[in-house]
Amino acid sequence: MVKRLFQEYVYQHPWAVVTEATWLKYPNPFCPHVLDVDVISRRVDDNDGFLKTRRLFTATSPVPRGLRWLMNSDVAYAVEDSVVDPVKQRMELNLRSLTFGDIVEMRETSTFEPHPENSEWTLLKQHWSCEWKVSTAFVSSLEKLSVQRFLSSVANGRLAVKQLCQDIEQNETPNHVS
Partner 1 sequence: MTSKEDGFDPTKLCAEAKQKYNACFSRWYRKSFLDMGRPGSGEGVCQVEWNEYERCIKLMLKKRKLEHLLEEQAKLEARVGKDSR
CB of 93 to partner 1, least distance (A): 15
- What whole-number distance in Å separates Cα of residue 58 and Cα of residue 172? 28
CB of 54 to partner 1, least distance (A): 5
Nearer to partner 1, 1 or 87 (CB): 87
- At residue 59's C-alpha, the angle toward residues 66 and 44, to 5°, is 160
Nearer to partner 1, 81 or 131 (CB): 81
Cα-to-chain-centroid distance, residue 102: 22
Nearer to partner 1, 8 or 102 (CB): 102
CB of 32 to partner 1, least distance (A): 18
3-state secondary structure of 73: coil
Nearer to partner 1, 2 or 16 (CB): 16
Residue type, position 123, single letter: L
Listing DSSP states for 79-132 in one string gives EEEEEEETTTTEEEEEEEE-TTTTTEEEEEEEEEEEETTEEEEEEEEEEEEEEE
Binding site for partner 1 (CB under 8 A): 16, 19-20, 23-24, 38-44, 46-47, 49, 51, 54, 56, 77, 79, 84, 86-87, 98, 173-175
Question: Does an H or E element contain 45, and which?
Answer: none
- What whole-number distance in Å separates Cα of residue 97 and Cα of residue 104? 8
CB of 71 to partner 1, least distance (A): 16
CB of 19 to partner 1, least distance (A): 8
Nearer to partner 1, 124 or 142 (CB): 124
Nearer to partner 1, 135 or 173 (CB): 173
CB of 59 to partner 1, least distance (A): 13
User: Which residues, 6+ apart, have CB-to-CB distance to 169 below 8 Å?
Assistant: 13, 17
